[in-house]
Structure 1
Amino acid sequence: MSKAKTISLTVGAFVAGALISLHIPALAEKEAKPGLPIDELRTFAEVYSAIKQGYVEPVEDKKMITNAISGMLSNLDPHSAYLDADAFKDLQVGTQGEFGGLGIEVGMEDGLVKVVSPIEDTPAYRAGVKAGDLIFKLDETPVKGLTLSEAVKKMRGKPKTPIKLSIIRKGETKPIELTLIREVIKVQSVKSKLVEPGYGWVRVTQFQENTIAELAKHVAGLYKDGNKLNGLVLDLRNDPGGLLHGAIGVSAAFLPPDVKVVSTDGRTEDAKQEFKARTQDYQRGTKEDPLKLLPVEAKNVPMVVLVNGGSASASEIVAGALQDHKRAVIVGTQTFGKGSVQSVLPLPGNTAIKLTTARYYTPSGRSIQAKGITPDIIVEESANGTAAGAAMRIREADLDRHLTNDRDKETPKAEPKPQAKTPAKSGKDKGGKEESEDELPPRLEYATKSDYQFQQALNLLKGLQIMQNKAQ
């Protein structure tokens, strides 16, 4: 334990979760805890001895201890876990936005791997893997009996190697089998474009080491050649989270200096922290401010933030901060609701444990845990309502053993009334399946005419511009 000098915080989903070193004293260095439960440990020792002496096959001590540690953590909540050497390495590599695998954000449900969201431009995304899919077999290995870490490890592998996924999908009578070819997954953290004169779109797909600097570069690009923006859409849909300091920096890009962005609270003093829109809270390992290229006009440009059920953790920090400070209008659907903080404690042998140590709160003190961010204006994913894939999307509150929201009763927030929906025009496709005329395509191209939520955000910005002009 003495080699563990820092604890790191993670605020993303299982696969996208990433490290942020905050130089917090290691757990081993804290004051001594109360005495150990002797009776319970004696029972543990008796079970251990019984397995060693009587199990049908010999079991190595290392395997038994590792399984015991893994069981202790996995039974706490969905995000605490034991990380073997490979899983710990994958977690560290993931912060750089490049790793080998299929490109799926996953969780666990009833012993099966459940897809939270496929990552854009990856083998899973192109093959048509959808949010809500249940993976019950990996090649010929049943998922039942595997831990989430073991299942993820099987899905990852050398690029250009195949893997077969056997999937149960709601609405399908037979299992779906897909063969995917693993790739080096390079997640482009920030994307942008000038959708029309005066209106820009910036999308953060995942919060990585370079996200803050990339955001500044992309926003500066929208202002190049003397362009003036009348409105900006910050798109956080299906962004599963990532680095905490990335969320603070993205928030700081659009907020006044030194205002509160997020706070954390847990049982220890180290877990009680407050982060503000200031360089020292988001700068990591560089002498220069990563927001140095950001145009000053970005601080005041009218903004809409787009969110949905796939917007988790770091995304919710940004949306919550901009909402509480009334800097932007939040549009879309209820977010995922991951409001817990994980500390990563390195262990001998290049392993680690990922332990939930705190909850995080928006500037006004709201807890997002198991609730999420409620949009100011609810806009479903199509004119007829939520698309079929989105309806199956899981949220934090759906996960087994999820933490409760400790401040929900103290700070209730009324649910906005959803906009009126036009009745769907149903029919049958060539295969005889029921379909909706306005249902979203399987793979939505963001910020296009077919992107219903984006078009509504753009209309809102234009309406705000008209009102502003009348007021002048």
Structure 2
Amino acid sequence: MSHLSRLTPLALSIALLGGAPLLQAAETPDSAAPQVSDKAPLPLEDLRTFAEVLDRIKAAYVEPISDKTLLENAIKGMLSNLDPHSAYLDIDAFRELQESTSGEFGGLGIEVGMEDGFVKVVSPIDDTPASRAGIQPGDLIIKIDGQPTKGLSMLEAVDKMRGEAGSKIQLTLVREGGKPFDVELTRAVIKVRSVKSQLLEDGYGYLRITQFQVNSGDEVLKALNKLRKDNGKKLRGLVLDLRNNPGGVLQAAVEVSDHFLKEGLIVYTEGRIPNSELRFSADPADPSEGVALVVLINGGSASASEIVAGALQDHKRGVLMGTDSFGKGSVQTVLPLNNDRALKLTTALYYTPNGRSIQAQGIVPDIEVARAKLTREQDQGDFKEADLQGHLSNGNGGADRPSKGKTARAARPQDDDYQLAQALNLLKGLDITRGN
């Protein structure tokens, strides 16, 4: 498998973003800026028009405006019309970008993109104000503290949602074409724990990745070892939960995929600039020990999480379950400028091992299971044959199993999560058919 130490400086900067400027890659040295290869002459007539517009605004706009402001706005306009993920990062935005991959930042814990000029929720991050308030993927944020978001850039909207921990903010949301409603949240310092794990039942593990940070590959390896240790023996099945995972660092997605694969291509990228065409392959080590695997995805699974899902699906390493993923298959490179600012520029598309582009299509699960709410019914009377007075004993001499005296079972994650319950049932079925 390719490692960060083997990559070029430009490759070090590549990150896969889930539609939001909160998850980025490591910074790139200035020397890594791509060389311009387009030798076409400058469009002098268009440049004259640009200069004339600049001059007219300075002379006739209702309020004085500086050349610096006009030129920065022009740069932002150039990038905002390329695609939803390219952007000009000023000093503050660039600093926040560099801090975010550590897994700690201020705000609401919400990953966003743009749709029809509105801010759209890609996914809330687990254990944050956004997730606790019930914000869901697909929600449109139409107002922030009463101010419409229409016309704001994504960076401007994110800046408005950031603030001092403990301060209040009101978001006005629209869900699935319904009526607008308000949600009040309290900002917090977001400390994202990217990997969580536990045993669902004896022999069956659960591993959730909330986003792909720089150290997520190592954290998944530790989680696999802990699950094996807690179980006391090799696992019989594992659920890998990538739902509402908005993406993150490319290298982390490659490392996580490699933990489940022993050979073959994981992902490759194709672009125009030098060093943008990368290929990542698995090494023979298999920390997962070939455990039966079900991968959960949904509409909030984007970018780096789609790389992992696509690689495991193409290699038939696991069964994908859930709903179609988000469909972000582009690569952003962070290119620092010489004034503490940077460009976040889309430079390549990524492809799964079988050559599939996920861009604007997403990953389709092998088994579609929509989100649903579980409600459990009690057995009528909760009464069995073994409760009847004078009942016959078991023909093979087995012990009676009456209903009386049952103790309440501790709550488990799969009890209230229909998709997770179905994933666990599938693992059990695979285990039975394999004769384990």
TM-score (normalised: structure 2): 0.84
The match for 2:388 is none
Looking at structure 1, the residues matched to 234 and 245 of structure 2 have their Cα atoms a distance apart, in angstroms, of 27
Give the conservation status (yes or no) of the 8 Å contact 1:19–1:92.
yes
Pair 1:185 & 2:190 matched:
yes
Picking from 374, 397, 418, the partner of 1:452 is: 418
Are residues 22 and 244 of structure 1, via their aligned partners in 2, closer, same or farther at CA, if it must alter by over 3 Å?
farther
**Post-superposition shift, 1:167?**
2.6
Identity, % of aligned pairs? 56
1:385-396 → structure 2 map (5 Å cutoff):
none
1:90-169 → structure 2 map (5 Å cutoff):
90-169=96-175
Are residues 150 and 317 of structure 1, via their aligned partners in 2, closer, same or farther at CA, if it must alter by over 3 Å?
same
**Post-superposition shift, 1:253?**
0.4
**Post-superposition shift, 1:169?**
3.5
Are residues 463 and 370 of structure 1, via their aligned partners in 2, closer, same or farther at CA, if it must alter by over 3 Å?
same
The match for 2:340 is 350
Pair 1:301 & 2:307 matched:
no
Partner secondary structure for residue 137 of structure 2: coil
Are residues 21 and 301 of structure 1, via their aligned partners in 2, closer, same or farther at CA, if it must alter by over 3 Å?
farther
Looking at structure 1, the residues matched to 58 and 129 of structure 2 have their Cα atoms a distance apart, in angstroms, of 43
Pair 1:268 & 2:258 matched:
no
Give the conservation status (yes or no) of the 8 Å contact 2:299–2:326.
yes
Are residues 25 and 297 of structure 1, via their aligned partners in 2, closer, same or farther at CA, if it must alter by over 3 Å?
same
Q: Structure 1: any 5+ residue segments left out of the alignment?
A: 280-293, 385-444
Looking at structure 2, the residues matched to 151 and 240 of structure 1 have their Cα atoms a distance apart, in angstroms, of 18
Give the conservation status (yes or no) of the 8 Å contact 1:24–1:270.
no
Amino acid aligned to 1:353: L
1:29-108 → structure 2 map (5 Å cutoff):
29-31=35-37, 33-108=39-114
Are residues 369 and 24 of structure 1, via their aligned partners in 2, closer, same or farther at CA, if it must alter by over 3 Å?
farther
Looking at structure 2, the residues matched to 177 and 299 of structure 1 have their Cα atoms a distance apart, in angstroms, of 48
The match for 2:369 is 379
Are residues 24 and 323 of structure 1, via their aligned partners in 2, closer, same or farther at CA, if it must alter by over 3 Å?
farther
The match for 1:325 is 315
Give the conservation status (yes or no) of the 8 Å contact 2:34–2:273.
no
> Would you say how many aligned residue pairs link Structure 1 and Structure 2?
389
Picking from 8, 11, 14, the partner of 1:9 is: 14
The match for 1:287 is none
Give the conservation status (yes or no) of the 8 Å contact 1:6–1:24.
no
**Post-superposition shift, 1:461?**
1.1
1:148-297 → structure 2 map (5 Å cutoff):
148-170=154-176, 172-173=178-179, 175-224=180-229, 226-257=232-263, 259-278=264-283
Are residues 272 and 6 of structure 1, via their aligned partners in 2, closer, same or farther at CA, if it must alter by over 3 Å?
closer
**Post-superposition shift, 1:149?**
0.5
The match for 1:425 is none
**Post-superposition shift, 1:112?**
2.2
Pair 1:464 & 2:430 matched:
yes
Higher alpha-carbon deviation: 93-102 or 160-169: 160-169
Looking at structure 2, the residues matched to 276 and 16 of structure 1 have their Cα atoms a distance apart, in angstroms, of 27
The match for 1:433 is none
**Post-superposition shift, 1:348?**
2.8
**Post-superposition shift, 1:31?**
4.6
**Post-superposition shift, 1:272?**
1.4
Partner secondary structure for residue 254 of structure 1: coil
**Post-superposition shift, 1:341?**
0.5
Higher alpha-carbon deviation: 219-228 or 139-148: 139-148
**Post-superposition shift, 1:76?**
0.8
Looking at structure 1, the residues matched to 27 and 353 of structure 2 have their Cα atoms a distance apart, in angstroms, of 22
Give the conservation status (yes or no) of the 8 Å contact 2:30–2:336.
no
Amino acid aligned to 1:254: F
1:245-295 CA deviation, whole Å, 9 max, x = no partner?
0000000101014x211000012332211112259xxxxxxxxxxxxxx9x
Give the conservation status (yes or no) of the 8 Å contact 1:16–1:241.
no
Looking at structure 2, the residues matched to 302 and 21 of structure 1 have their Cα atoms a distance apart, in angstroms, of 38
Looking at structure 2, the residues matched to 59 and 21 of structure 1 have their Cα atoms a distance apart, in angstroms, of 32
Looking at structure 2, the residues matched to 263 and 217 of structure 1 have their Cα atoms a distance apart, in angstroms, of 26
The match for 2:385 is none
The match for 2:380 is none
**Post-superposition shift, 1:32?**
6.2
Give the conservation status (yes or no) of the 8 Å contact 1:305–1:319.
yes
Pair 1:367 & 2:333 matched:
no
1:430-457 CA deviation, whole Å, 9 max, x = no partner?
xxxxxxxxxxxxxxx9942121111111
Are residues 333 and 49 of structure 1, via their aligned partners in 2, closer, same or farther at CA, if it must alter by over 3 Å?
same
Q: Structure 2: any 5+ residue segments left out of the alignment?
A: 1-8, 375-410
Looking at structure 2, the residues matched to 163 and 48 of structure 1 have their Cα atoms a distance apart, in angstroms, of 37
**Post-superposition shift, 1:176?**
2.1
Give the conservation status (yes or no) of the 8 Å contact 1:339–1:368.
yes
Give the conservation status (yes or no) of the 8 Å contact 1:6–1:21.
no
Partner secondary structure for residue 434 of structure 2: helix
Are residues 302 and 197 of structure 1, via their aligned partners in 2, closer, same or farther at CA, if it must alter by over 3 Å?
same
Q: Which has the larger radius of gyration?
A: 2
RMSD: 2.3
Looking at structure 2, the residues matched to 297 and 269 of structure 1 have their Cα atoms a distance apart, in angstroms, of 34
Partner secondary structure for residue 421 of structure 2: helix
Give the conservation status (yes or no) of the 8 Å contact 2:194–2:216.
yes
